[in-house]
Structure 1
Amino acid sequence: MSLTPADLQALMAAFDASEWDEMTLVLDGASVQLSRTGQPPATGGAGAQPPTPGPRAASLRAGAGARLPAATAAGAVGSPAEVAPVPAVEAAERSAELILEDASGVHRVTSPSVGVFWRAPDPSAPPFVEVGRRVDAEDPVCIVEVMKLFNHVQAGAGGVVRSVEVENGAMVEHGQTLFLIDLDG
């Protein structure tokens, strides 16, 4: 897989539309970091400070000592990429915050980012949930994939799945309703 300038633009657009604070992309020894704060990502070691809120626009920069390959005439850049797993964990933890409740006792499970909606963990597996099935708040209901980064979305509330609002494999937008869940009791 080659990473083109259009892929980088799509990655930056998806990052900008997401709730992530930072993301690191490593390709062939070079590091590209996207950050809302403009600060290097926290290492998680002793004394690490959480990033302070920053502007909505993402900054793109190369990691220390890294050289980003220049685009060729055909537009190809680099080689297969690996995305650090930290944003996926943060996005999954935040998925419960992205569930909206209205006065009628129905929760809307919304997409944590732009990406592709998947109802099952793989094509041969059954869907995470079906209409009419009871779910708990922590139950996974789907996956939203962006650039091979798989974000597991949780129900966020206990209840019964009323409807699936998106077709399997469809592109979804940040904040788009994926499921409606009738609240318990």
Structure 2
Amino acid sequence: MSTERLLEALDFDLIADVFVSEGITASPAELHGQLCGYLAAGVSLREEDWLQMALEFADIEKWREAASKAAIIELYQATLSLFQNGEYALVPCIADEDAEISQRGTTLAQWAHGFLAGYGLAGRKQETISDDARQVLQDFANISGLRADMEQMEDNNENDADLTELIEYARLSAMMLFSEHHGVVPDADLTKQRPLH
């Protein structure tokens, strides 16, 4: 599947529509962040385990619509493929450039919060990670902590440039962590590797 097609599955509005149709009040950005953090921590995640994780995150027992479940599976498959294809094309599932800066910033903060949660759920011990990885996690904690500030962010060129830089940092940092813990082997099947814990 082409990178462009994979990126379509990470469209924020698409996942937001799924959340609306399923009556989910949580953030799509935070769910994707959790998936990214879990995968970047270096453990395997089977599709059925991801579906269970997504249900627990959304606080629902099952998907009402088959299309919702399909979109959540596609989110997982596309994220995994983008992580492992070596092209460094993964992007956070956050509000797109047409949205107000405050919404883009808020969803980035939610994504960073989710990333930390997913990384923690994976069970990787702090002493087993590099100083670079530790710094990334601290930076993500700082981004997550900016949520209230992001909500107040005004639309202007300076804020847009700063936010674009922050999004790019988050994107590249997530892939750096994934590469550090997995080694990027294009087309490797990480759904079948043994988990760390």
TM-score (norm 1): 0.26
Q: Between Structure 1 and Structure 2, whose CA radius of gyration is higher?
A: 1
Q: Which has the higher helix share?
A: 2
Q: Which has the higher strand share?
A: 1
TM-score (norm 2): 0.25
Higher relative contact order (Cα pairs below 8 Å, separated by 6+ residues)? 2
